[in-house]
Each structure stands twice: as C-alpha cells, then as structure tokens.
A and B are shown apart, each in its own frame.
Chain A
C-alpha cells in the first residue's frame, strides 16, 4: 500500500493531528487508503496552481477557489503539500498541525517538502505502470484476436490445387501481417463443371474472417443448387445480407467453367475484374453488380466467354493492384495486362505476374493487404511459335538483378532455387550453378559495365527434357566472343592474361550454350538436359 507508507512518513513529521495523502483519481482507485475525501477532480484549479507554485502551502495563505482545498480545510488541515513530479500533478498531502492553527515549524516544512517530492515521484511511476499494464492487456487481447482470425481464414482456403485434365490451375496467396479477409475457392460441380471463386471481405479483424467463412459456405451451397453464376451471387447475397454485421461487405467474382468445352460463365459482385489472356491480347472481364451483403434482392449481370487452348484467366485481389512502391506509385492493373498478354507462356502466367510484382515492389516490401492470385490456363497448342512444332515452354522463374560486382553467387542461387523441384543430379546442379554464375559475371561486367541502372535479366524455363536459363544484358560490351579454349601454357608463360576463363567454363558446364541477339543487348541461353543423357564431355 504505497499511499499508507507515504502517510506514515508524513506522520513522522512533527506528529501532526492527522495527515492524508490524496492521490488523483487514477491512483486512488487502486490504492485507496480509506480516505474520507471524495474522488479527486482533475479539473480542480489546484492542479494548475500546484504545477506553478511549489509547496508546502499554509492553507491560510492560499486564496485559490478550489473545492479540493476547501475539502482539506473542512477536515481541519492547515498545511497542504502538492505532489508534483516532472511537471505532472499526482495529488496532495493534507496535514493538520498538532495544535490547530499553529502551522508547522520551518524545519518540519522542509521535511514535508522532501517527503512530498519523494511521494510525488513514487506515485507518478505507480500511475505510469498501471497505465502501461492496462495498455499491455488491451494489446494482448488484440493480438490474440488477430491470431484467431488468421487461423480461421487460413483453414478455409483450399489445401491443394485442383487437377483438371487439359487445364492448369495455379494459386498464390500471401497474407499480410494483419488479417485481410481474402478468399478463394475451388468448387467441383457435377457434369464436368468447375467453379472458381475469388473474394475480399472488407475490414481486417475477427469479424472479417468470420464474414469470409460465412460467405464461403453460402457460395458453396448456392453453387451446388443453382447453375448460373449470377444466381449463385444473388442467393448468397440475400443470405449474407440477413446476417452480416452492418457496414461490412464482401466483393466476389465467380466463374463456372465447363471443362469439356472451355465455356466460362461469370458474374461479379464488385471485385476487381479479372484479365483474360488470349492470342488477341489481354482484356478485362466485366460484369456489374453490388458487393455481397449490402443490398438484399440485388441481381447480378453475367458474361460468357470460351477459353481456347493457350488462353488464360487471371483472377486477383486488390492486394496486388494496390501495392504501393516507396516512391508512391501503385502497381495497378495495366501491368497485369502487359505481363499476361500472349507470349506463348499462358501456363506460366502466375510466375510472370509474381516476378513483375517482385520487380516492382523491390526488396523489403511489406504487404498491407492479402495478395491473392489465381490463374486458370487451358493447355494445348500455343498461339505463338517457338521454332515450328516446338514443345510448350513453362517459365519457372523470371527476375532481374542489379549489375553489381560479386553478386553472381546470389543470382545463381536464385536460379538453383527455381529448379529445386526439377530432376537434376547434384553434379548437374553444381555445374549449372557455376555456369549461371560465370554468365552473370560476364553480363554484369562486360554487358552492363557494372552500371547500377542496368540490370541483368534472368529467365528459367522448362521445355520438355530441356532446362533453360536465359541471362540478358544491355549490350554495352559489343558482341559476345565465341568461347575458345584458353591456352594455359601461354598464360603460365605470362604470354596471356591469367583471366578469360569464364565463357569457356560455361560451355563446358552445360549441354548447350547459345547466344541470341535481344536488342539492345544479348541473351545467353544455357541448356541442361533432364533425361540423364550425357551431353558435353566433362
């Protein structure tokens, strides 16, 4: 009992008739000493007075109109010491001297001042601690809420990607630190039909996660009952309006695919329109409708397209388009269109978008909102050529790295990460690592002259049994020489520079080395065969 201790100290001063410490309301509640004084009013003029005029004060000398001081007088106090620490008022000591009206001796006043100073400091710290603990408790319960919300949300997302013959479905979900409420779902339907859903529940909290869970169930049950996507949304909307907390809503895009014919019917409840990539280019699929949960009885427009082989549908949440870079620019939708416009890689659209997003956001970017991307690609002959009847190529990774000295190792490791799942022997991996590193070194040094504004482009792809790594530079170094066997004897004899091993090594480490003109620079293409056939001799 801090206050009791302090009162004992005060009572030791000249044996006053009574002494009480009257701490301000926030402390009195926790450490009441059974004072008969009413709760302290923080608006009392004595608060401002005490910070200006240090005590102790003889009450007879104080003319301030203060209910608090009146209360002290009424109790019989004739001396009051304000408790002020670091400019903060924390309370009063009210003292009645042994003989009424006599007041305290000078030495007693000095002691009182010292005790008051100590008491003030102690009580101030006590108040801070109490406030801090209350804030901690609030924070803890918030953090716990968020954890629960995250768990709920994640348990409702699909565990695996669906396998549909003739189609490739990919999904990428990156949650923000805070729960975001993104939703995507794959619902198999009878008769070769397949339903894709992407949505975003407004707000970030436990309520958003619960709304998302509810929405998911409503969509699933509606999709199993009605055939048209517009009707699915309408049913789900009516049910959701009945139970959603006021002010909350869910945007949602739904598509029902006939996996046999490629016909896709879709409807949209206020979600960002997805992109369709075909041989003609990239277009947005638009269909109007209110977000779910706002207007009961709302109806939803529908659209219909047919996905030809080689085309792809790209669904995403606004966590992607609203990514802000440090210079304030937004990723936006145009970039998606640029990336998914046909280039013979419809099945690698997800990787391309992720690479473009990574390049845009830069290192160290932290997402503010969940980022969800779902792609649906129809496999088959691609519209673009790749050398007459060539096999379809799947891009495994695509990224750019700065032309900085000694960064070739990091670049090579990224390439090795991208092929971690590919059937390479460990010897092939070591050799590929060296080949990529050497090529990157050349690109940085000779192709880009280590200019920080010129990056090295890297693409990793798989085409049948061939693994391809393409490394591009900006062509500052002129054309790339043919790799010739360096003459060791000449070098040892000091007739040639000790350097110049790079390109030669590269060729020896892979099964094929090709150089392509890709204005303004060049692209070196390395190929490693995955079927275990021996390529170049060791």
Chain B
C-alpha cells in the first residue's frame, strides 16, 4: 500500500490565479497539508484556485469533506475553485456528490487556466 500522506505544491500563476498540485492521498489525515496549501495559494487578489489532481493516488469521503471545507473558505474569499487531472472514477465521484457544480472540472491545467482567466 502506498504511503497515505498528502503532498502539495503551490504555484502562483498570476496575482489572480494559483495552482495547488495535489500528490498522494486526500483523506482526513491530509487536512493540515491541504489547508496550508490553500493559505499559501490564496493571496489578497487571488480570484481562482486550480486544484491539479494529476498525481492523486486516492481520495475517500473524508477527502471530499476536506474539499467542501476548502469550498467554504474559497467562497468566503470570493474565489472560484477549479479541478483538473481527475481520473474517470473521481470525475464520477465529483458528479455523484454534485461537487462538480461547485468545483468546475477541466481536462487539464491549460483549460482550467483559460476558464480561470475569465473570472
């Protein structure tokens, strides 16, 4: 079984858009790492945050709960969340939970960036 930790890397693309690269597992134990990454990604002028799930290994319902927490914070800061790099299975899960209505899914970072540029 692979390591159950979450690793993140934050890349600000501009004053308004940042990317959080997610690697590993998004579960309850990743809360601190994820919230930390959000803090780093969230500048005064940030309007869009892209969650890059390309290196996601595993996510369970606790992980979905974390994304909802992220959503709550992003909403407060009037930021829009985007997601890219999800496998079909996790796109399914986003759809089943209707998370995709709040976190817009794009096939790759470029598409997400283009969409984020519009806001």
Contacts and interface: CB of A to CB of B under 8 A. Distances in A.
Given A488-B99, A501-B65, A427 B89 contact: yes
A117 B89 CA distance: 75
Nearest to B71: A492
Contacts, number: 69
Contacts of A486: 97
A488 B68 contact: yes
B14 to A, nearest CB: 26
A351 to B, nearest CB: 23
A413 B95 CA distance: 24
A505 B59 CA distance: 12
Contact of A538 (B62, B71, B95): B95
A504 B99 CA distance: 13
B72 A494 contact: yes
B60 interface: yes
Interface in B79-115: 88-89, 92-93, 95-99, 101-102
A437 interface: yes
Contact of A409 (B1, B62, B89): B1
B29 interface: yes
A498 B65 contact: yes
Contacts of A413: 1
Given A498-B68, A498-B72, A488 B95 contact: no
B61 interface: yes
Contacts of B75: 492
A408 B68 contact: no
A459 to B, nearest CB: 22
A328 to B, nearest CB: 31
Nearest to B27: A406
Contacts of B72: 491-492, 494, 498
Contacts of A446: none
B57 to A, nearest CB: 10
Nearest to B64: A501
A499 B96 contact: no
A408 B61 CA distance: 12
Given A441-B60, A492-B75, A494-B72, 17 more contacts: A406-B4, A406-B29, A409-B4, A410-B1, A431-B89, A441-B62, A488-B68, A488-B101, A488-B102, A492-B68, A492-B72, A498-B66, A498-B69, A499-B61, A502-B61, A504-B97, A505-B96
15 contacts: A405-B28, A406-B28, A406-B29, A409-B4, A427-B88, A434-B93, A488-B68, A488-B98, A488-B102, A498-B68, A498-B69, A501-B97, A502-B61, A505-B64, A538-B92
Interface of A: 405-406, 408-410, 413, 427, 430-431, 434, 437-438, 441, 486, 488, 491-492, 494, 497-502, 504-505, 508-509, 538
